Amino acid sequence: DIQMTQSPSTLSASVGDRVTITCRASQSISSWLAWYQQKPGKAPKVLIYKASSLESGVPSRFSGSGSGTEFTLTISSLQPDDFATYYCQQYNTYPYSFGQGTKLEIK
Amino acid sequence: EVQLLESGGGFVQPGGSLRLSCAASGFTFSNYGMTWVRQAPGKGLEWVSTISASGGSTFFADSVRGRFTISRDNSKNTLYLQMNSLRAEDTAVYFCARDLTGPTAYFGFSGQGTLVTVSS
């Protein structure tokens, strides 16, 4: 099974900051990686698919990069609505797996 | 507008059973694989099970294989998760999701999920 590891687990930042979250896979997953945003009490929302493709309707301040085993999600200029928990998910093979999450907090 | 409405959660004792439903609307249900993802209280997301668009292929996490069954009724635009031999560690909010690609997928969520609590 493929293990997904995110870092950091918690990130404190301010509005306007540029932030980067990293996701590492235990084996190569090519570019079959998605990023989700989740707010308390809500369902996750997909932001990025195939490592770097922006889902329709998602603001362009979100971007993804990477391939193989190392991936990043970058938010270029944090907005108040961006404070949430972020998850990566590999869909290269079954069983699908998620990272443990990165909680983005207001500094 | 795509809508996924989960229902059927509740309180059940260990060893008990529960059937979750997910009513879909706003898209051609029979064209999409569907998935269940769960989230234990205060924890991260865990993939549970996926069923193909036709229902002919199913996939399960090791943690639920042999205890959970996924099915769908394309005539009713509804996805199901039959959960048997429930354990305390199955306590979670269960979300249904639409597979946005194939044959392997990332997911589109819509509903609020349904809470399953397994406790004596």
**pLDDT per position as a tens digit, B19-73:** 999 999 999 999 999 999 999 999 999 999 999 999 999 999 999 999 999 999 9
What is the per-residue pLDDT for B31?
96
Q: Tokens at residue A45, please?
A: 């929302």
A21: β partners = A73
Mean pLDDT, chain B, integer:
97
Closest residue of chain A to B43, computed from CA coordinates: A100
**Interchain contact, B107 vs A46, CB within 8 Å:** yes
By the CB < 8 Å criterion, does A100 face chain B? yes
Q: Is the pLDDT of residue B102 over 90?
A: no
Q: Is the pLDDT of residue A2 over 90?
A: yes
Q: Tokens at residue B95, please?
A: 């979300």
Interface residue of A71, A85, A91 to substitute, partner B, most B CBs within 10 Å = A91
**Interchain contact, B104 vs A44, CB within 8 Å:** no
**pLDDT per position as a tens digit, A21-55:** 999 999 999 999 999 999 999 999 999 999 999 99
**CA–CA distance, B115 with A55 (Å, rounded to integer):** 28
What is the per-residue pLDDT for B33?
97
What is the per-residue pLDDT for B38?
98
**CA–CA distance, B102 with A72 (Å, rounded to integer):** 23
Q: Is the pLDDT of residue A13 over 90?
A: yes
**Interchain contact, A94 vs B109, CB within 8 Å:** no
Interface residue of B1, B45, B70 to substitute, partner A, most A CBs within 10 Å = B45
Q: Is the pLDDT of residue A18 over 90?
A: yes
Give me the amino acid identity at A47.
L
Torsion of CA A104, B3, B4, B8, to 10 degrees: 110
Q: Is the pLDDT of residue B111 over 90?
A: no
Q: Is the pLDDT of residue A11 over 90?
A: yes
Q: Tokens at residue B113, please?
A: 């999920």
Q: How is residue A76 annotated by DSSP?
A: S
Of A87, A95, A96, the CB nearest to B44: A87
What is the per-residue pLDDT for B35?
98
**Interchain contact, A95 vs B59, CB within 8 Å:** yes
Closest residue of chain A to B60, computed from CA coordinates: A95
**Interchain contact, B47 vs A96, CB within 8 Å:** yes
What is the per-residue pLDDT for B28?
97
Closest residue of chain B to A35, computed from CA coordinates: B106
Annotate chain B with three-state secondary structure.
CCEEEEECCEEECCCCCEEEEEEEECCCHHHCCEEEEEECCCCCEEEEEEECCCCCCEEECCCCCCCEEEEEECCCCEEEEEECCCCHHHCEEEEEEEECCCCCCCEEECCCCEEEEECC
